[in-house]
Structure 1
Amino acid sequence: MTTRKFWIFALVVVIFIGNMSYFYFNKIKVSTLMEFIQRSDQENSSETQAATVHPLTGMWTVGPSGRLGNLMGQYATLYALAKLNGHQAYITQNMHNQLSKIFKIKLPVINDEAVSRIKWRNYWLHDWMSPDYYIIQGEYVRFTGYPCSFTFYDHIRNEILEEFTFLDYVKEESYAYLDKVRGDQKNVTFVGIHVRRGDYVHVMPNTWKGVIADKGYLDKATDYFRKKYENPLFIVTSNGMAWCKENMNNSRGDIHFAGDGQEGSPGRDFALLAHCNHTIMTIGTFGVWAGYLVGGETIYLDKYVLPDSPFLKVFKYEATFLPEWIGIPADLSPLLGKKDGQ
């Protein structure tokens, strides 16, 4: 009798353990299945979110005007504002013809006939980013003006730098020139110098109550790099090369006057500056863009117009020159009827 009870008890225990094992095993399978379902739902949700990203719409462009530096500023501003507002940027055939001579630009080109047929909303931009530009209405917008400020596009700087990637042959020409200048010298630091003269010689004092770079400024700027670096070599480009040769201190033989000093080859001059390590600029968007692309130390001419200059209504120093750049104040004494240094 006792033996029979024992076997009955043992059978009950075995059945109980078997049932618990079944439930436990199935609980694991159900849990695993639920985790798989939840994980799949999350993945599908992520894919759905990615699929619902709104594509860029409309056609936004910019009316190209000015020279190389202006065109670069207009291109970068169009790129940034169109992206910010969710619209597709296009450039005109004329802008493409100019910039594609030296850069691997990527924005699509709008046909000239399409430009003439589209009913554009013309939208004027001043030189720097404004809160109004965060929301611009219109599917077909054409910007006008001369925007050239990092405040438009510096938040996507890597994208802008990629847009202004030089063509391979342009890079090769620049490096070949710099290698020739270097010769057998070691530890060379190249400093690109752009001296803007040309029409600015008359426009700045007569229209804007301002000055352009003089000998004193260039001496201070070059001395900065001579003191800081062991073996600097200066590469000068200018549309007033004769003036540069007469006024720049080349007693050490470390200044090389590049190009022909004419405005007919701005792309070649710009590429040389952009492949240096640092930049000395005077005034103008050409020099600003050289410093921006190089990314090293940049010295610029600061406070080069009088406080009551009308130029300050369309220009801001703080919106043009990056905070880390080094400004050397201009000598305004010629505008005040004084001699240099007084």
Structure 2
Amino acid sequence: MVAAICLGSTLMIIPFSLLSRYQSRNACRSQVIELKAQLEQALQQIPASTTTKPAKPCRDAFKETFEREKRYICCGMRGGVGNFMFAYASVYGMATKVNKSVLIQKNNLLLKYFRLKAKIVNDLCVCQTAKFVHEGPHCQFNKNLLNLTEKINYRPFRYFQSWMYFQHVADDIRQQFKFQDEMREKAVNIIKGSREAFVKQQRGSGHDNVTIVGVHVRRGDITKYKKFVEYGYMVAPPQYFSTAMTYYRNKYHTTLFLVCSDDIGWCKENINGNDVMFIENNPFEVDLTVLTQCNHSIMSVGTFGWWSSFLAGGETVYYKHPARDGSKFRKIFSEDYSDFFYPGWIGME
């Protein structure tokens, strides 16, 4: 099997086996990454069979403006809500650096919860002529993406999981990712009810000095499916949560830990204390909002916990080993994880 890729005026015919051999030899790494990205984009446009009807032309009314003004960066996304938030925040950071605007599709998941500073279109088909640029390893910062200065439209690809893309607009991002009033009110009521139940349980002691610590425990699919385990995903062990909670207990007079998770049963078996309450039977957006309204944070692994900690804005403790050493997953992070974990956060194990 071969791949045909058009680079400028040159048509390159490249066997898949040869492309893999180049990659394994680590030759011209950045060129290989770019080549693979272009190949993936090209393959997505190949019809499934010779009987497939040609793709319909893009009929979004904004397409003409998009191609005339040439000042947009398209933001296409995939994955869970945490991935969506990283992609938008990073592309927004890229756009603000070079006086461009972000363009997203109207069915974007984030628009259900947040008011974003983006141009909304009916269909991302308007981005077909935009220049395709690849991020490189997903959790490492690529400084070139903050210098998209040509007077053209861009289409970056794909996850951009580094705070360094949007550090210069961090406060702006926090404002854009502020949940709408109804959701925040629901979260505040959950926290208030949990605090009152805790104080009653403690017979009234420390009511005015309770420090609320949000705890996010990611397990779910990365523990159940072989492909994730083999790729190198790690989950935080019980000892990590015990260590992190001891840190807060020693620092504050009275603590209350609110635990949210995709495996609340595991949490009840492994996270203990009379200052622990479990938030359960809520949609993920309610859990996320609750965590963002806490004073401080304990995150395990994953982007959901990352964003709940970042938006809460207090102290954050994180698990130091989100990827198994030597795994494929480990290679997408920088050497010391500093491109991914936010400055000032405290790593524990």
Work out whether the TM-score is over 0.5.
yes
One-letter code aligned to 2:163: F
Conserved? CA contact 1:241–1:257, under 8 Å? yes
Structure 2 unaligned residues grouped into runs of 5+: 1-68, 200-206
Tell me how far apart the structure 2 counterparts of residues 223 and 327 of structure 1 sit (CA, whole Å).
14
Match of 2:33 in 1: none
Conserved? CA contact 1:87–1:139, under 8 Å? no
Matched length: 266
Match of 1:271 in 2: 289
Bigger mean CA offset, 210-219 vs 117-126: 117-126
Conserved? CA contact 1:105–1:165, under 8 Å? no
What are the residue-to-residue correspondences of 1:121-270 with 2, within 5 Å?
Answer: 121-125=131-135, 126-136=138-148, 137=150, 139-183=152-196, 184=199, 185-201=207-223, 202=225, 206-250=229-273, 252=274, 254-260=275-281, 265-270=283-288
Normalising by structure 1, what TM-score? 0.73
What are the residue-to-residue correspondences of 1:32-71 with 2, within 5 Å?
Answer: 58-71=71-84
Tell me how far apart the structure 1 counterparts of residues 144 and 103 of structure 2 sit (CA, whole Å).
21
Cα 1:218/1:88, change in 2 over 3 Å:
same
TM-aligned CA deviation for residue 134 of structure 1: 2.9
The answer to whether the aligner puts 1:99 opposite 2:110 as a matched pair is yes
Conserved? CA contact 1:61–1:92, under 8 Å? no
Match of 1:291 in 2: 309
TM-aligned CA deviation for residue 312 of structure 1: 2.4
What are the residue-to-residue correspondences of 1:313-332 with 2, within 5 Å?
Answer: 313-316=331-334, 317-329=337-349
Conserved? CA contact 2:94–2:147, under 8 Å? no
One-letter code aligned to 1:212: V
Cα offsets for 1:314-335 (capped at 9, x unmatched): 1231111123111013xxxxxx
Bigger mean CA offset, 204-213 vs 302-311: 204-213
Which structure's CA Rg is the greater one?
1
Tell me how far apart the structure 2 counterparts of residues 117 and 88 of structure 1 sit (CA, whole Å).
13
One-letter code aligned to 1:89: V
TM-aligned CA deviation for residue 76 of structure 1: 0.3
* Two-structure CA RMSD over aligned residues (Å): 2.0
Conserved? CA contact 1:204–1:211, under 8 Å? no
Tell me how far apart the structure 2 counterparts of residues 91 and 238 of structure 1 sit (CA, whole Å).
29
Structure 1 unaligned residues grouped into runs of 5+: 1-55, 330-342
Q: Once the two structures are aligned, what percentage of the paired residues are identical?
A: 32
Conserved? CA contact 1:58–1:139, under 8 Å? yes
Match of 2:44 in 1: none
> Hey, which bits of structure 1, 4+ residues long, moved more than 6 A?
none
Tell me how far apart the structure 1 counterparts of residues 175 and 322 of structure 2 sit (CA, whole Å).
32
Match of 1:79 in 2: 92
Match of 1:32 in 2: none
TM-aligned CA deviation for residue 175 of structure 1: 0.8
TM-aligned CA deviation for residue 162 of structure 1: 1.3
Give the one of 117, 122, 125 matched to 1:115. 125
Conserved? CA contact 2:244–2:317, under 8 Å? yes
Conserved? CA contact 1:121–1:138, under 8 Å? no
Cα offsets for 1:89-111 (capped at 9, x unmatched): 1111232xx21332222322122
Tell me how far apart the structure 2 counterparts of residues 144 and 71 of structure 1 sit (CA, whole Å).
13
One-letter code aligned to 1:115: C
Conserved? CA contact 1:204–1:212, under 8 Å? no
Tell me how far apart the structure 2 counterparts of residues 310 and 138 of structure 1 sit (CA, whole Å).
36
